[in-house]
Each structure stands twice: as structure tokens, then as C-alpha cells.
Amino acid sequence: MADKIINKVAEAGIEQLDLKDFLLREPMLEIDLKDQLWNEFVLREKEFRDWIKSHDWSVYTSKVVAVFCSADAIIPAWAYMLVTAELKNAKAIYCASPENAKAEFFFDNLKTWNVSHLTDKRVMVKGCSDIPDPEKAYVILTQKLVPVAKSLMFGEPCSAVPVFKRR
């Protein structure tokens, strides 16, 4: 009779977390105000307001949107306000380049994550995640988990680094 294979990691009751789970998983829509500039330099109010009125804003409903200007131009604050007012049905709006907006989305997700389901649990945070500003992410995650978790480890079950253990 063959010996039964026992998964000791599963039996240990360790909750594994991967910070990649907090990344944006859907396409981010972009509004580059450069496209509304005259000669990629000046924003003309009348033309801009005409674009605001004629643009199909429904495509942004329940979407994550990055509003930015890729040209080296000074955009008046009211232009961002007008665009944001039209994006009222968007899931989230970021005034940042698409790359920075994705990072902000990631950190918003992480900071607002409810960790109550991890109360008194042993938690393993997976390392080597391709995430924005990993050190910052690990600091935020540790701050959230230390008050609730029984223990906190970093890495993989076969090579975990103990971080915290409630006494």
C-alpha cells in the first residue's frame, strides 16, 4: 500500500496573499487633453466646451479613467473639473499618466482592503510580485495585518521569512 501524500502547507492553515491581486485587471481608459489643444500648446475654452458637449461620455461608465496631458502645456484647472464632472459615472478617475494612475489604483485597493477575514490567521505574503513600489506596498500591507493576524510571513511556504508573531 502506497503512503498517502500529505500537503502540510494546506494543513497549516496559512492564508497566502499575492499583492498582484490588487492590480487593475481591466483596461484603463485614457483622456489625453493634448488632443484638445490648439497646436498642442493652448487650450481654447470655446472649442474645449464644444468637445465636452459632443463627446460620448457613456463609454466611461463603470470604467477606470486616467485624465492627463502628455504635451508640455499648461492646462487650466477648470478643464480638469469639466472633464471630471462629465465622468460622474466612471468607476474611478485619476488625474495622472496611465502608468501613475494604475499605481494609484493599486494603492487605493490595498489601503481600502478589509482585512477582518484574516483575524487570528497565519498569513503568508508572496514575494516577487510585479507591483508598483513594492517596498511601499509591503509597508502598507504590514500596517494593516499586524493588528489582526496571528502571524505574518514573507515568501513561500518552503522558504518563509517570519515577520511578526502575536504573543
Q: Which domain holds residue 42?
A: 29-100
Asked which of 100, 124, 154 is the last residue of a domain, the reply is 100
Q: Provide φ and ψ at 29, rounded to 5°.
A: -85, 150
Q: Is residue 3 part of a domain?
A: no
14: left (phi over 0), alpha (psi -120 to 50) or beta: beta
Q: Is residue 2 part of a domain?
A: no
Number of domains into which the chain is organized: 2
pLDDT by residue for the chain (167 residues), tens only, comes to 567 776 665 566 899 999 999 999 999 999 999 999 998 899 999 999 999 999 999 999 999 999 999 999 999 999 999 999 999 999 999 999 999 999 999 999 999 999 999 999 999 999 877 899 999 999 999 999 999 999 999 998 778 899 999 98
